[in-house]
């Protein structure tokens, strides 16, 4: 029985219904085992974090070494990479619960520095929207994801209502643009996210009639078996 808490139902222009929900556990394994996540969009933050808390699960389920591959890529994306980059790692294990994970940047990454000054005390909305949209698009159109889970893409205890709103808006726009690829659910998961952060979501137009997605430039690069998606807008 799913323990994910329902948040709202989004209906796309094509009439496709998808559910938003949340589960504030640190680890992603319970979500995957109850089919509430087959792709995880996770922050590059290590240690006591959603990435670090699921390291053994990711390694065992995906068949990818955490120490040799997942952690070095996350560390590079957080501290060295100056571009806004999503790192997609597809499962290499037959019968895995997850189709893959996407290491996503946030405000604690080097690539966010040029956006932080213009955003002031609030998150940069274009940054969070575009990162989320492209992660969802890759997961759904490349891996045929049916249930997505996303962690906080920020420093510890720095999650903001605007981040959750950007995530939900990007998800709604994707379902409008790609109804045949729309997943069944989108789950906010992990620490640092609280129920009050979802207050802005109720103001979104659930049918997407007044807003729409504006395409950005995405450059694909292959690094061994990882796919790097560089975002420019």
Q: CA separation (Å) from 110 to 33, 92, 133, 143, 192?
A: 34, 29, 20, 28, 21
Task: Report pLDDT for 205.
Answer: 56
Instruction: Write out pLDDT tens, residues 194-210.
Output: 999 999 987 775 444 56
Instruction: Write out pLDDT tens, residues 135-152.
Output: 999 999 999 999 999 999
Task: Report pLDDT for 19.
Answer: 93
Q: How far apart are CA 162 and CA 205, in angstroms?
A: 15
Average pLDDT, integer, range 103-128? 91
Split into its structural domains, the chain has a count of 1
Side-by-side strand order, sheet with 100-104: 5-11, 17-23, 185-189, 147-150, 39-43, 100-104, 84-90, 226-232, 217-223
Task: Report pLDDT for 209.
Answer: 52
What is the share, in percent, of the chain residues with pLDDT greater than 90?
79
The residue range of the domain holding 195 is 5-232
Binning pLDDT at 50, 70 and 90, where does residue 1 land? very low
Q: How far apart are CA 164 and CA 186, in angstroms?
A: 11
Q: What is the pTM of this model?
A: 0.94
Q: How far apart are CA 83 and CA 105, in angstroms?
A: 10
Q: How far apart are CA 200 and CA 31, in angstroms?
A: 25
Residue 88 · residue 226 · CB < 8 Å? yes
Question: Using the 8-state DSSP alphabet, how is residue 154 labeled?
Answer: S
CATH number at residue 93: 3.40.220.10
Sort strands 147-150 and 39-43 into parallel, antiparallel or unpaired.
Answer: parallel
CA nearest neighbour of 89 among 67, 74, 75: 74
Per-residue pLDDT at 2 exceeds 80: no
């Amino acid at each position: 029985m799913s323990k994910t808490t329902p948040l709202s139902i989004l209906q796309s222009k094509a009439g496709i219904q998808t559910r938003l929900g949340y589960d504030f556990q640190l680890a992603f394994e319970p979500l995957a085992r109850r089919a509430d996540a087959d792709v995880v969009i996770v922050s590059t933050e290590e240690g006591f974090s959603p990435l670090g808390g699921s390291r053994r699960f990711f390694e065992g389920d995906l068949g990818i070494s955490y120490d040799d591959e997942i952690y070095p890529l996350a560390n590079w994306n957080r501290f060295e990479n100056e571009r806004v980059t999503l790192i997609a790692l597809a499962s290499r294990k037959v019968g895995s619960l997850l189709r893959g994970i996407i290491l996503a940047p946030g405000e604690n990454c080097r690539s966010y520095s040029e956006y932080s000054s213009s955003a002031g005390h609030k998150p940069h909305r274009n940054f969070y929207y575009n990162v989320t949209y492209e992660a969802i698009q890759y997961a759904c159109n490349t891996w045929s994801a049916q249930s997505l889970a996303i962690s906080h893409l920020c420093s510890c205890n720095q999650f903001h209502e605007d981040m959750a709103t950007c995530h939900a808006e990007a998800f709604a726009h994707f379902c409008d643009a790609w109804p045949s690829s729309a997943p069944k659910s989108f789950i906010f998961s992990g620490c640092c996210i609280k129920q009050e952060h979802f207050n802005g979501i109720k103001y979104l137009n659930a049918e997407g009639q007044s807003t729409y997605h504006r395409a950005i430039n995405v450059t694909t690069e292959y690094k061994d078996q990882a796919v790097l998606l560089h975002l420019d807008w």
